[in-house]
Amino acid sequence: MMDKRATLLTQLDAAVGPTQVLTASLDVAPFLTDWRGRFHGRALAVVRPGTTAEVADVVRACAECGTPIVAQGGNTGQCGGATPDADGDSVVVSLTRLNRIRALDPDNATVTVEAGVPLALVQQTAAEAGLYFPLSLAAEGSCTIGGNVSTNAGGIAVLRFGNMRELVLGLEVVLADGRIWDGLRALRKDNSGYDLKQLFIGGEGTLGIVTAAVLKLFPAPRSRATALVALSDVEGAVRLLRALKAALGDRLTGFELMSAFSLALSRKHRPTLPNPIPGHPWYALMQADDSAADSPVAVELERSLGAALENGTALDATIAQSGEQAQALWMMRENIAEAQRREGPNIKHDISIPVSAIPRFLAEAAAALSAAMPGLRFVTFGHLGDGNLHYNLAAPEGVVPDTFMAQAPTANRIVHDLVAAHAGSISAEHGIGQLKRGELVRYKSAVEIELMRTVKAALDPQGILNPGKVL
Protein backbone atom coordinates (compact mmCIF):
# COMPACT_ATOMS: atom_id res chain seq x y z
CA MET A 1 0.00 0.00 0.00
CA MET A 2 2.81 2.41 0.86
CA ASP A 3 4.53 1.66 -2.47
CA LYS A 4 1.26 2.37 -4.28
CA ARG A 5 0.85 5.68 -2.49
CA ALA A 6 4.47 6.65 -3.04
CA THR A 7 4.16 5.85 -6.74
CA LEU A 8 1.00 7.91 -7.03
CA LEU A 9 2.55 10.88 -5.23
CA THR A 10 5.52 10.72 -7.60
CA GLN A 11 3.12 10.75 -10.57
CA LEU A 12 1.21 13.69 -9.12
CA ASP A 13 4.47 15.60 -8.59
CA ALA A 14 5.31 15.00 -12.24
CA ALA A 15 1.84 16.10 -13.35
CA VAL A 16 1.59 19.45 -11.56
CA GLY A 17 4.98 20.09 -9.95
CA PRO A 18 6.01 19.19 -6.37
CA THR A 19 5.00 22.59 -4.95
CA GLN A 20 1.40 21.98 -6.01
CA VAL A 21 1.07 18.62 -4.25
CA LEU A 22 0.28 19.30 -0.60
CA THR A 23 0.70 16.57 2.01
CA ALA A 24 1.69 18.36 5.23
CA SER A 25 -1.08 18.48 7.81
CA LEU A 26 -1.19 22.26 8.09
CA ASP A 27 -1.23 22.67 4.31
CA VAL A 28 -4.09 20.26 3.65
CA ALA A 29 -6.24 21.18 6.67
CA PRO A 30 -8.21 24.02 4.96
CA PHE A 31 -9.37 21.60 2.27
CA LEU A 32 -10.68 18.92 4.64
CA THR A 33 -13.54 20.74 6.37
CA ASP A 34 -16.69 22.15 4.80
CA TRP A 35 -17.75 25.79 5.17
CA ARG A 36 -20.30 24.99 7.88
CA GLY A 37 -17.75 22.99 9.90
CA ARG A 38 -20.04 19.98 9.90
CA PHE A 39 -18.01 17.54 7.82
CA HIS A 40 -14.36 16.69 8.37
CA GLY A 41 -12.25 14.36 6.25
CA ARG A 42 -8.74 13.19 5.50
CA ALA A 43 -6.80 12.98 2.26
CA LEU A 44 -3.69 11.39 0.84
CA ALA A 45 -2.86 14.73 -0.78
CA VAL A 46 -4.31 17.97 -2.06
CA VAL A 47 -3.33 18.63 -5.68
CA ARG A 48 -3.57 22.06 -7.30
CA PRO A 49 -3.44 21.71 -11.10
CA GLY A 50 -3.15 24.87 -13.17
CA THR A 51 -4.50 23.68 -16.53
CA THR A 52 -7.08 21.28 -17.89
CA ALA A 53 -4.27 19.06 -19.18
CA GLU A 54 -2.85 18.86 -15.66
CA VAL A 55 -6.27 17.94 -14.28
CA ALA A 56 -6.44 15.17 -16.87
CA ASP A 57 -2.97 13.91 -15.89
CA VAL A 58 -3.98 13.85 -12.22
CA VAL A 59 -7.21 12.00 -12.92
CA ARG A 60 -5.42 9.51 -15.19
CA ALA A 61 -2.86 8.76 -12.49
CA CYS A 62 -5.56 8.25 -9.87
CA ALA A 63 -7.65 6.11 -12.22
CA GLU A 64 -4.73 3.78 -12.90
CA CYS A 65 -4.51 2.85 -9.22
CA GLY A 66 -8.19 3.27 -8.31
CA THR A 67 -7.64 6.24 -5.99
CA PRO A 68 -10.76 8.30 -5.15
CA ILE A 69 -10.85 11.91 -6.34
CA VAL A 70 -12.71 14.80 -4.71
CA ALA A 71 -12.90 17.96 -6.83
CA GLN A 72 -13.12 21.20 -4.87
CA GLY A 73 -13.63 24.85 -5.81
CA GLY A 74 -14.20 27.63 -3.31
CA ASN A 75 -15.33 25.14 -0.64
CA THR A 76 -18.49 27.11 0.13
CA GLY A 77 -20.94 24.21 -0.26
CA GLN A 78 -23.70 23.53 2.24
CA CYS A 79 -23.97 19.71 2.04
CA GLY A 80 -20.41 18.42 2.38
CA GLY A 81 -20.20 17.65 -1.32
CA ALA A 82 -16.58 18.80 -1.66
CA THR A 83 -15.25 17.27 1.57
CA PRO A 84 -13.40 13.92 1.44
CA ASP A 85 -14.36 11.05 3.72
CA ALA A 86 -12.40 9.99 6.79
CA ASP A 87 -10.49 7.12 5.14
CA GLY A 88 -7.59 9.29 4.06
CA ASP A 89 -7.28 7.55 0.69
CA SER A 90 -8.67 10.35 -1.50
CA VAL A 91 -6.86 12.95 -3.54
CA VAL A 92 -8.49 16.37 -3.30
CA VAL A 93 -8.19 18.22 -6.60
CA SER A 94 -8.43 21.95 -5.88
CA LEU A 95 -9.35 23.84 -9.04
CA THR A 96 -8.69 27.38 -7.81
CA ARG A 97 -5.59 27.75 -10.04
CA LEU A 98 -7.78 27.26 -13.11
CA ASN A 99 -8.66 30.93 -12.83
CA ARG A 100 -8.52 32.38 -16.33
CA ILE A 101 -11.13 34.20 -18.36
CA ARG A 102 -10.55 32.46 -21.68
CA ALA A 103 -12.79 34.50 -23.94
CA LEU A 104 -15.35 37.29 -23.85
CA ASP A 105 -17.64 37.58 -26.87
CA PRO A 106 -19.91 40.65 -26.57
CA ASP A 107 -21.59 40.04 -29.92
CA ASN A 108 -22.53 36.49 -28.95
CA ALA A 109 -23.15 37.61 -25.34
CA THR A 110 -21.00 34.85 -23.85
CA VAL A 111 -17.97 34.47 -21.64
CA THR A 112 -15.79 31.37 -21.42
CA VAL A 113 -14.18 30.88 -18.03
CA GLU A 114 -12.25 28.23 -16.17
CA ALA A 115 -13.66 26.37 -13.21
CA GLY A 116 -11.66 28.18 -10.54
CA VAL A 117 -12.77 31.68 -11.50
CA PRO A 118 -14.71 33.29 -8.62
CA LEU A 119 -18.32 34.13 -9.43
CA ALA A 120 -17.74 37.79 -8.54
CA LEU A 121 -14.99 38.04 -11.17
CA VAL A 122 -17.36 36.76 -13.85
CA GLN A 123 -19.90 39.39 -12.80
CA GLN A 124 -17.18 42.07 -12.95
CA THR A 125 -15.89 40.92 -16.33
CA ALA A 126 -19.38 41.06 -17.79
CA ALA A 127 -20.04 44.50 -16.27
CA GLU A 128 -16.83 45.92 -17.74
CA ALA A 129 -18.10 44.86 -21.17
CA GLY A 130 -21.46 46.52 -20.56
CA LEU A 131 -23.12 43.15 -20.00
CA TYR A 132 -24.56 41.22 -17.08
CA PHE A 133 -24.10 37.77 -15.58
CA PRO A 134 -27.12 37.28 -13.34
CA LEU A 135 -26.12 34.47 -10.97
CA SER A 136 -25.87 36.08 -7.53
CA LEU A 137 -25.16 34.34 -4.22
CA ALA A 138 -24.13 35.45 -0.77
CA ALA A 139 -20.82 33.58 -1.29
CA GLU A 140 -20.14 35.11 -4.71
CA GLY A 141 -16.80 36.54 -3.61
CA SER A 142 -15.40 33.08 -2.82
CA CYS A 143 -17.50 30.46 -4.63
CA THR A 144 -16.20 29.39 -8.04
CA ILE A 145 -17.82 28.69 -11.39
CA GLY A 146 -16.93 25.00 -11.27
CA GLY A 147 -18.77 24.64 -7.98
CA ASN A 148 -21.69 26.71 -9.27
CA VAL A 149 -22.01 24.40 -12.26
CA SER A 150 -21.55 21.22 -10.26
CA THR A 151 -24.27 22.15 -7.77
CA ASN A 152 -26.58 23.85 -10.30
CA ALA A 153 -26.46 26.98 -8.14
CA GLY A 154 -29.51 29.20 -7.83
CA GLY A 155 -29.48 32.45 -5.86
CA ILE A 156 -31.63 35.53 -5.90
CA ALA A 157 -32.27 36.01 -9.64
CA VAL A 158 -33.65 32.57 -10.55
CA LEU A 159 -37.15 34.02 -10.87
CA ARG A 160 -36.07 35.79 -14.08
CA PHE A 161 -32.91 34.03 -15.29
CA GLY A 162 -33.14 30.48 -13.97
CA ASN A 163 -30.59 28.30 -12.20
CA MET A 164 -27.03 27.74 -13.40
CA ARG A 165 -28.41 25.05 -15.71
CA GLU A 166 -30.12 27.78 -17.76
CA LEU A 167 -26.97 29.93 -17.85
CA VAL A 168 -24.53 27.34 -19.23
CA LEU A 169 -24.13 26.88 -22.99
CA GLY A 170 -21.11 24.59 -23.03
CA LEU A 171 -18.68 22.73 -20.78
CA GLU A 172 -15.20 21.29 -20.77
CA VAL A 173 -15.01 18.19 -18.56
CA VAL A 174 -12.30 15.76 -17.51
CA LEU A 175 -13.82 12.30 -17.46
CA ALA A 176 -13.15 9.55 -14.93
CA ASP A 177 -10.44 7.92 -17.09
CA GLY A 178 -8.62 11.21 -17.72
CA ARG A 179 -10.00 11.92 -21.17
CA ILE A 180 -11.08 15.49 -21.88
CA TRP A 181 -14.53 16.19 -23.34
CA ASP A 182 -14.47 19.54 -25.15
CA GLY A 183 -18.08 20.67 -25.18
CA LEU A 184 -17.29 24.41 -25.09
CA ARG A 185 -19.86 25.34 -27.71
CA ALA A 186 -21.29 28.84 -27.42
CA LEU A 187 -24.55 28.03 -29.19
CA ARG A 188 -28.12 28.79 -28.16
CA LYS A 189 -29.34 26.17 -30.62
CA ASP A 190 -27.60 22.81 -30.87
CA ASN A 191 -29.93 19.89 -31.47
CA SER A 192 -27.22 17.43 -32.50
CA GLY A 193 -27.89 14.53 -30.19
CA TYR A 194 -27.94 14.19 -26.41
CA ASP A 195 -27.25 17.36 -24.44
CA LEU A 196 -24.32 15.86 -22.54
CA LYS A 197 -23.50 18.97 -20.55
CA GLN A 198 -26.71 18.53 -18.55
CA LEU A 199 -25.27 15.34 -17.02
CA PHE A 200 -22.48 17.30 -15.37
CA ILE A 201 -24.49 20.34 -14.29
CA GLY A 202 -25.68 19.46 -10.80
CA GLY A 203 -23.60 16.25 -10.82
CA GLU A 204 -21.47 17.43 -7.86
CA GLY A 205 -18.29 16.07 -9.42
CA THR A 206 -19.54 12.47 -9.36
CA LEU A 207 -19.64 12.05 -13.15
CA GLY A 208 -16.74 14.23 -14.30
CA ILE A 209 -14.68 17.26 -13.29
CA VAL A 210 -15.80 20.52 -14.89
CA THR A 211 -12.76 22.55 -15.92
CA ALA A 212 -14.33 25.35 -17.98
CA ALA A 213 -17.74 26.68 -19.04
CA VAL A 214 -19.32 28.93 -21.65
CA LEU A 215 -21.82 31.17 -19.85
CA LYS A 216 -24.68 33.30 -21.16
CA LEU A 217 -24.53 37.05 -20.67
CA PHE A 218 -27.37 39.56 -20.82
CA PRO A 219 -27.83 43.30 -21.35
CA ALA A 220 -26.75 45.16 -18.25
CA PRO A 221 -29.55 46.64 -16.12
CA ARG A 222 -29.67 50.41 -16.50
CA SER A 223 -32.79 50.98 -14.43
CA ARG A 224 -33.31 49.25 -11.09
CA ALA A 225 -35.87 49.44 -8.31
CA THR A 226 -35.60 47.74 -4.93
CA ALA A 227 -38.29 47.63 -2.24
CA LEU A 228 -38.94 46.08 1.16
CA VAL A 229 -42.58 45.30 1.98
CA ALA A 230 -44.12 44.34 5.33
CA LEU A 231 -46.78 41.62 5.32
CA SER A 232 -49.12 40.04 7.82
CA ASP A 233 -48.82 36.52 6.43
CA VAL A 234 -47.28 34.41 3.69
CA GLU A 235 -50.56 34.28 1.79
CA GLY A 236 -50.14 38.02 1.31
CA ALA A 237 -46.63 37.49 -0.04
CA VAL A 238 -47.94 35.02 -2.62
CA ARG A 239 -50.67 37.45 -3.69
CA LEU A 240 -48.16 40.27 -3.96
CA LEU A 241 -45.80 38.12 -6.03
CA ARG A 242 -48.58 37.30 -8.47
CA ALA A 243 -49.57 40.97 -8.78
CA LEU A 244 -45.99 42.10 -9.40
CA LYS A 245 -45.40 39.42 -12.03
CA ALA A 246 -48.53 40.58 -13.82
CA ALA A 247 -47.47 44.23 -13.63
CA LEU A 248 -43.75 43.93 -14.32
CA GLY A 249 -43.39 40.71 -16.30
CA ASP A 250 -39.83 39.41 -16.53
CA ARG A 251 -38.46 42.69 -15.21
CA LEU A 252 -39.15 41.27 -11.74
CA THR A 253 -35.74 39.78 -11.04
CA GLY A 254 -36.01 38.71 -7.41
CA PHE A 255 -38.64 38.24 -4.74
CA GLU A 256 -37.37 37.14 -1.34
CA LEU A 257 -39.43 36.11 1.70
CA MET A 258 -38.06 36.72 5.21
CA SER A 259 -39.57 36.16 8.63
CA ALA A 260 -39.21 38.83 11.29
CA PHE A 261 -37.08 36.47 13.37
CA SER A 262 -34.65 35.82 10.52
CA LEU A 263 -34.14 39.57 10.04
CA ALA A 264 -33.75 40.12 13.79
CA LEU A 265 -31.04 37.47 13.81
CA SER A 266 -29.32 39.14 10.88
CA ARG A 267 -29.27 42.50 12.70
CA LYS A 268 -28.18 40.93 15.98
CA HIS A 269 -24.92 39.86 14.39
CA ARG A 270 -24.59 42.99 12.25
CA PRO A 271 -26.11 45.88 14.23
CA THR A 272 -25.38 48.46 11.52
CA LEU A 273 -28.01 46.94 9.23
CA PRO A 274 -31.13 49.08 8.71
CA ASN A 275 -34.56 48.40 10.19
CA PRO A 276 -36.79 50.64 8.04
CA ILE A 277 -40.27 49.20 8.74
CA PRO A 278 -40.11 47.30 12.05
CA GLY A 279 -42.80 45.44 13.92
CA HIS A 280 -44.29 43.09 11.30
CA PRO A 281 -44.26 39.27 11.11
CA TRP A 282 -43.17 38.83 7.48
CA TYR A 283 -41.25 40.79 4.87
CA ALA A 284 -40.69 40.56 1.13
CA LEU A 285 -37.62 42.04 -0.56
CA MET A 286 -37.98 42.56 -4.28
CA GLN A 287 -35.96 43.88 -7.17
CA ALA A 288 -36.99 44.89 -10.68
CA ASP A 289 -34.49 45.58 -13.46
CA ASP A 290 -34.66 46.93 -16.98
CA SER A 291 -31.92 47.33 -19.57
CA ALA A 292 -33.54 50.55 -20.82
CA ALA A 293 -32.10 53.68 -19.20
CA ASP A 294 -35.41 55.56 -19.31
CA SER A 295 -37.51 52.64 -18.12
CA PRO A 296 -40.56 53.41 -15.96
CA VAL A 297 -39.93 50.25 -13.92
CA ALA A 298 -39.48 52.16 -10.65
CA VAL A 299 -42.74 54.04 -11.17
CA GLU A 300 -44.55 50.83 -12.04
CA LEU A 301 -43.20 49.06 -8.96
CA GLU A 302 -44.27 51.98 -6.77
CA ARG A 303 -47.73 51.97 -8.36
CA SER A 304 -48.10 48.23 -7.77
CA LEU A 305 -47.04 48.51 -4.15
CA GLY A 306 -49.47 51.40 -3.66
CA ALA A 307 -52.29 49.17 -4.86
CA ALA A 308 -51.14 46.39 -2.52
CA LEU A 309 -51.23 48.81 0.42
CA GLU A 310 -54.70 50.01 -0.52
CA ASN A 311 -56.19 46.51 -0.79
CA GLY A 312 -54.52 45.29 2.40
CA THR A 313 -52.12 42.80 0.81
CA ALA A 314 -49.19 44.84 2.15
CA LEU A 315 -48.95 46.57 5.53
CA ASP A 316 -46.08 48.95 4.81
CA ALA A 317 -43.37 49.46 2.23
CA THR A 318 -40.16 51.33 1.58
CA ILE A 319 -38.49 51.84 -1.79
CA ALA A 320 -34.72 52.37 -1.97
CA GLN A 321 -33.87 55.87 -3.15
CA SER A 322 -30.26 55.11 -4.04
CA GLY A 323 -27.94 52.26 -4.86
CA GLU A 324 -26.53 52.45 -1.35
CA GLN A 325 -29.99 52.05 0.21
CA ALA A 326 -30.76 49.12 -2.09
CA GLN A 327 -27.48 47.46 -1.13
CA ALA A 328 -28.26 47.89 2.56
CA LEU A 329 -31.67 46.25 2.11
CA TRP A 330 -30.10 43.30 0.31
CA MET A 331 -27.43 43.00 2.97
CA MET A 332 -30.18 42.38 5.53
CA ARG A 333 -31.18 39.32 3.51
CA GLU A 334 -27.72 38.11 2.56
CA ASN A 335 -26.41 38.26 6.13
CA ILE A 336 -28.99 35.82 7.49
CA ALA A 337 -26.93 32.70 6.71
CA GLU A 338 -23.81 34.15 8.33
CA ALA A 339 -25.82 35.26 11.35
CA GLN A 340 -27.15 31.74 11.76
CA ARG A 341 -23.63 30.35 11.66
CA ARG A 342 -22.54 32.75 14.38
CA GLU A 343 -25.62 32.06 16.48
CA GLY A 344 -24.78 28.37 16.74
CA PRO A 345 -25.72 25.01 15.21
CA ASN A 346 -28.99 24.93 13.36
CA ILE A 347 -30.93 22.37 11.38
CA LYS A 348 -31.04 23.52 7.77
CA HIS A 349 -33.48 22.64 5.02
CA ASP A 350 -33.03 23.81 1.43
CA ILE A 351 -36.39 22.89 -0.07
CA SER A 352 -38.56 23.78 -3.03
CA ILE A 353 -42.34 23.65 -3.15
CA PRO A 354 -44.90 24.98 -5.63
CA VAL A 355 -45.41 28.63 -4.68
CA SER A 356 -49.12 28.08 -4.21
CA ALA A 357 -48.46 25.38 -1.57
CA ILE A 358 -45.96 27.34 0.54
CA PRO A 359 -48.42 28.95 3.00
CA ARG A 360 -50.03 25.61 3.76
CA PHE A 361 -46.68 23.87 4.09
CA LEU A 362 -45.38 26.48 6.54
CA ALA A 363 -48.45 26.20 8.73
CA GLU A 364 -48.36 22.40 8.79
CA ALA A 365 -44.61 22.22 9.38
CA ALA A 366 -44.67 24.77 12.21
CA ALA A 367 -47.46 22.86 13.98
CA ALA A 368 -45.80 19.46 13.63
CA LEU A 369 -42.32 20.67 14.58
CA SER A 370 -43.50 22.71 17.57
CA ALA A 371 -45.34 19.65 18.89
CA ALA A 372 -42.26 17.47 18.54
CA MET A 373 -39.70 20.09 19.65
CA PRO A 374 -41.34 22.70 21.93
CA GLY A 375 -39.73 26.13 21.92
CA LEU A 376 -38.21 25.71 18.48
CA ARG A 377 -37.27 28.94 16.71
CA PHE A 378 -37.95 29.15 12.96
CA VAL A 379 -35.46 30.94 10.71
CA THR A 380 -37.51 31.06 7.53
CA PHE A 381 -36.32 32.91 4.44
CA GLY A 382 -35.64 32.26 0.79
CA HIS A 383 -36.51 32.77 -2.82
CA LEU A 384 -40.30 32.79 -2.77
CA GLY A 385 -40.37 33.82 -6.42
CA ASP A 386 -39.13 30.38 -7.51
CA GLY A 387 -40.54 28.38 -4.59
CA ASN A 388 -37.21 27.82 -2.81
CA LEU A 389 -37.24 28.17 0.98
CA HIS A 390 -34.35 27.99 3.40
CA TYR A 391 -36.41 26.52 6.20
CA ASN A 392 -33.97 26.47 9.09
CA LEU A 393 -34.49 25.64 12.74
CA ALA A 394 -32.68 27.22 15.70
CA ALA A 395 -32.52 25.69 19.17
CA PRO A 396 -34.94 26.83 21.85
CA GLU A 397 -33.46 29.32 24.29
CA GLY A 398 -31.21 27.57 26.81
CA VAL A 399 -31.00 24.23 25.01
CA VAL A 400 -27.47 22.84 24.63
CA PRO A 401 -26.48 22.76 20.92
CA ASP A 402 -25.49 19.08 20.94
CA THR A 403 -28.81 18.12 22.52
CA PHE A 404 -30.65 20.12 19.88
CA MET A 405 -28.71 18.76 16.92
CA ALA A 406 -29.40 15.21 18.08
CA GLN A 407 -33.02 15.90 17.12
CA ALA A 408 -32.09 16.65 13.51
CA PRO A 409 -33.35 13.27 12.18
CA THR A 410 -36.76 13.92 13.75
CA ALA A 411 -36.94 17.42 12.28
CA ASN A 412 -35.75 16.26 8.86
CA ARG A 413 -38.36 13.54 8.71
CA ILE A 414 -41.19 15.94 9.55
CA VAL A 415 -40.01 18.58 7.08
CA HIS A 416 -39.11 16.27 4.21
CA ASP A 417 -42.27 14.18 4.53
CA LEU A 418 -44.31 17.37 4.26
CA VAL A 419 -42.22 18.56 1.33
CA ALA A 420 -42.92 15.27 -0.45
CA ALA A 421 -46.62 15.52 0.40
CA HIS A 422 -46.71 18.91 -1.34
CA ALA A 423 -44.86 17.59 -4.44
CA GLY A 424 -41.67 19.43 -3.54
CA SER A 425 -37.94 18.66 -3.47
CA ILE A 426 -35.65 18.11 -0.49
CA SER A 427 -32.88 20.02 -2.28
CA ALA A 428 -33.58 23.18 -4.25
CA GLU A 429 -30.12 24.66 -4.86
CA HIS A 430 -27.55 23.27 -2.41
CA GLY A 431 -27.31 19.76 -3.82
CA ILE A 432 -27.21 16.41 -2.05
CA GLY A 433 -23.54 15.93 -1.14
CA GLN A 434 -23.12 13.59 1.78
CA LEU A 435 -25.66 15.37 3.96
CA LYS A 436 -28.78 14.22 2.11
CA ARG A 437 -27.60 11.02 0.47
CA GLY A 438 -29.87 8.82 2.59
CA GLU A 439 -32.77 11.20 2.13
CA LEU A 440 -32.43 11.04 -1.65
CA VAL A 441 -33.04 7.29 -1.67
CA ARG A 442 -36.05 7.75 0.58
CA TYR A 443 -37.78 10.33 -1.59
CA LYS A 444 -36.72 9.42 -5.14
CA SER A 445 -38.54 6.59 -6.86
CA ALA A 446 -36.79 3.26 -7.41
CA VAL A 447 -36.80 3.93 -11.15
CA GLU A 448 -35.08 7.32 -10.71
CA ILE A 449 -32.41 5.86 -8.43
CA GLU A 450 -31.78 3.01 -10.86
CA LEU A 451 -31.39 5.44 -13.75
CA MET A 452 -28.99 7.59 -11.73
CA ARG A 453 -26.90 4.55 -10.79
CA THR A 454 -26.82 3.47 -14.43
CA VAL A 455 -25.48 6.86 -15.52
CA LYS A 456 -22.91 6.82 -12.71
CA ALA A 457 -21.69 3.33 -13.65
CA ALA A 458 -21.41 4.28 -17.31
CA LEU A 459 -19.35 7.43 -16.74
CA ASP A 460 -17.40 6.34 -13.65
CA PRO A 461 -17.20 2.53 -13.66
CA GLN A 462 -14.56 2.45 -10.91
CA GLY A 463 -16.61 4.77 -8.71
CA ILE A 464 -13.61 7.00 -8.00
CA LEU A 465 -15.22 10.40 -8.63
CA ASN A 466 -16.39 11.95 -5.38
CA PRO A 467 -17.45 8.65 -3.80
CA GLY A 468 -20.10 8.74 -1.10
CA LYS A 469 -21.77 11.83 -2.55
CA VAL A 470 -25.25 11.97 -4.10
CA LEU A 471 -25.53 8.16 -4.41
Fold of domain 223-335: Alpha-Beta Plaits (3.30.70)
Over residues 4-22, the pLDDT tens digits come to 888 999 999 999 999 999 9
Fold of domain 344-432: Alpha-Beta Plaits (3.30.70)
pLDDT at 2 over 90: no
Distance separating the N- and C-terminal Cα atoms of the chain? 27
Whole-number pLDDT of residue 37: 82
Give DSSP secondary structure letters for 73-84.
Answer: SS---SSSTTS-
Over residues 178-209, the pLDDT tens digits come to 999 999 999 999 999 999 999 999 999 999 99
Report, as an integer, the average pLDDT of 148-174: 96
Over residues 84-107, the pLDDT tens digits come to 999 999 999 999 999 999 999 999
Whole-number pLDDT of residue 296: 95
Q: Which residues of 169-203 are buried (b: 16+ CB within 10 A; e: fewer)?
A: bbbbbbbbebebeebbebeeeeeeeeeebebbbbb
Tell me the CATH number for domain 2-94: 3.30.43.10
pLDDT band at 345 (very low <50, low <70, confident <90, very high): confident
Over residues 353-385, the pLDDT tens digits come to 999 999 999 999 999 999 999 999 999 999 999
* Amino acid identity for residue 454 in this structure: T
Whole-number pLDDT of residue 1: 52
Distance CA 273, CA 146 (A): 32
Whole-number pLDDT of residue 401: 87
The domain locations on the chain are: 2-94, 101-219, 223-335, 344-432
Q: Kindly report the pTM of this predicted structure.
A: 0.92
Whole-number pLDDT of residue 138: 82
Over residues 425-434, the pLDDT tens digits come to 999 998 999 9
CA-based nearest residue to 260, from 136, 365, 381, 382: 381
SS3 357: helix
Distance CA 313, CA 149 (A): 38
pLDDT at 257 over 70: yes
pLDDT at 31 over 80: yes
Whole-number pLDDT of residue 344: 86
Over residues 279-337, the pLDDT tens digits come to 999 999 999 999 998 899 999 999 999 999 999 999 999 999 999 999 999 999 999 98
Domains 101-219 and 223-335 alike in fold: no
How large is the C-alpha radius of gyration of the chain? 23
Report, as an integer, the average pLDDT of 129-145: 93
Q: What is the mean pLDDT of the chain?
A: 95
Over residues 393-449, the pLDDT tens digits come to 999 988 998 899 999 999 999 999 999 999 999 999 989 999 899 999 999 999 999
Give me the percent of the chain exceeding a pLDDT of 90. Answer: 91
Strand pairing class (180-183; 168-174)? antiparallel
Give me the architecture of the 101-219 domain, per CATH.
2-Layer Sandwich (3.30)
Distance CA 49, CA 61 (A): 13
Which residues make Cβ contacts (< 8 Å) with residue 278, sequence separation at least 6? none
